[in-house]
Structure 1
């Protein structure tokens, strides 16, 4: 199966920049620890060094061989579907998801699978685009005056975007309104511990720390 990110892997590696506030949220939400931290949708492995700096041993899974071609120089990786993780139940102390939930049409199924592979008491950290301020309904062409239009409640998948310089217009993205996203965590049995947002006046990112 050819993953959509295969076509943009070179562009992503060479031109895509981390969003402000994302590194801080990763440190605050994941925290220091030991043992394996699995990143689902690891892409090019851009977050591996930050995870390792916290004491964890990063490993990654992704569907895109193009992205994994870059990631394999940064952490151990395998090609796998996040809805069918190649790990035993109750086997991992930590799982990380960074800027990928909009790439996963059935994110609740991914969360269910993440909870399966986590050890009892294991931690899951989600960092993704902010449900309220990012999407085809949010025009961010003027960072100081974000314009929110119709479409927030659609729960739709689209390539429509305010910019032609990002990921959404290239591969598309699913949108999860805030209530659907948070309910997905509790519906599969996670205990939600903490929330975070990006550093912008109108945050680009939203994060969750949950525990099995």
Structure 2
């Protein structure tokens, strides 16, 4: 299976990420430090991409390991963390085998994200933590126009679930690979349906937040 990101892996690593430099506009590092926090043992990154979050996870005392469907993205990730090419809806791990898992900015890339959350719950040890960090479903999507830095324009469409390539910019990801959208109640329900307990939340990326983070635990 050829993943959508295979065709843009070089652009993603060499232009998109390189263009951000040391900036963290979505405050992913803060979300990981706050919601994942210090710990030990393996931390599974679901949809690890090129592995750019591995060092942040490692700095928390954890040992990052990653899975991704895109072989081309994993080509960049391999020097950064141990990886496996796998479908996030069928993780190659035993039940109850990891103490922590994260999914960073990937839920919109996964049309089957409810199944991904269930898989995360399956592979977590009892008491394990799953941290979701994603674009904010209320303020980011095909319905949200951020072309004016001073004014976020929300058009009709927030309640429309599904896949879109509509984007306010041609320098991002949505216009290239598309994105799935779930309204906030749908997203939160995925965790409850998977048997996880919602534990904590955070937002990041400005006054009109770009990012929503969720920490859930396996009972």
TM superposition score category, shorter chain reference: over 0.9
SS at match of 2:92: coil
Q: Identify the residue that residue 113 of structure 2 maps to in structure 1.
A: 107
Q: Distance in 1 between matches of 2:177 and 2:67?
A: 19
Q: Does 1:45 align with 2:75?
A: no
Query: Deviations along 1:30-65, whole A, 9 cap, x unmatched?
Result: 000000000000000000000000000000000001
Q: Identify the residue that residue 31 of structure 2 maps to in structure 1.
A: 25
Q: Please, what TM-score do these two structures have when normalized by structure 1?
A: 0.98
Q: Identify the residue that residue 6 of structure 1 maps to in structure 2.
A: 6
1:1-212 matched pairs, under 5 angstroms: 1-16=1-16, 17=20, 18-212=24-218
Q: Shift of the alpha carbon at 1:126?
A: 0.2
Q: Distance in 2 between matches of 1:92 and 1:106?
A: 22
Contact 2:43/2:98 (CA < 8 Å) preserved in 1?
Answer: yes
Contact 2:144/2:168 (CA < 8 Å) preserved in 1?
Answer: yes
Contact 2:25/2:205 (CA < 8 Å) preserved in 1?
Answer: no
Q: Distance in 2 between matches of 1:69 and 1:41?
A: 13
Q: Distance in 2 between matches of 1:199 and 1:66?
A: 28
Q: Distance in 2 between matches of 1:105 and 1:92?
A: 24
- Aligned residue pair count: 212
- Structure 1 unaligned regions, length at least 5: none
Q: Distance in 1 between matches of 2:205 and 2:170?
A: 23
Q: Shift of the alpha carbon at 1:142?
A: 1.2
Q: Distance in 1 between matches of 2:120 and 2:152?
A: 34
Q: Distance in 2 between matches of 1:12 and 1:203?
A: 23
